[in-house]
Amino acid sequence: MKEVGIINREIAAAISKQGHTDLLMVVDAGFAIPNGVEVIDISLGENMPTVPEVLAELKKFFSVEKMVIAKETKNVSPTLFANISKSFGEGVPVETVDHSSIREMSKNVKTVIRTGDFTAYGNVILVSGAGNRWKVEKPG
């Protein structure tokens, strides 16, 4: 029985499928997920779990080089925006785009993790990174 790491088998498998620059999305309870995109629904109830809680666990096992968040999140839910923005550390840039762009980009993600978060515009696209394990003889 798996007792360490991410124990949700679908999330563990989804992370294993991610390559450099692939997209994984963590969304709130109301996000309209496009047809054909793999969905892992971990919503248990209102705000259970939240997007920041899921990101905190993902950070332990998943390398991210950039996050994409809607401008509307910053305007409507500034506390959530701040929490998401710092979830992977200061070295991970945050790109803000219109919510309509987030919806369009969601068609190209490999996996969406749906939470029970009821905070408006609680959606983030994670761009898979190479992590700090990679050796480089000469910076390019």
Active-site residue, from 9, 17, 20, 86: 20
DSSP string, the chain: ---SS---HHHHHHHHH--TT-EEEEE-TT--PPTTSEEEE---BTTBS-HHHHHHHHHTT--EEEEEEEHHHHHH-HHHHHHHHTTT-TTS-EEEE-HHHHHHHGGG-SEEEE----STT--EEEEE---TT---SS--
Task: Using alpha carbons, list the distances in angstroms from residue 73 to 22, 76, 139.
Answer: 23, 5, 36
**Does 20 participate in catalysis according to the annotation?**
yes
Q: Which residues are catalytic?
A: 20
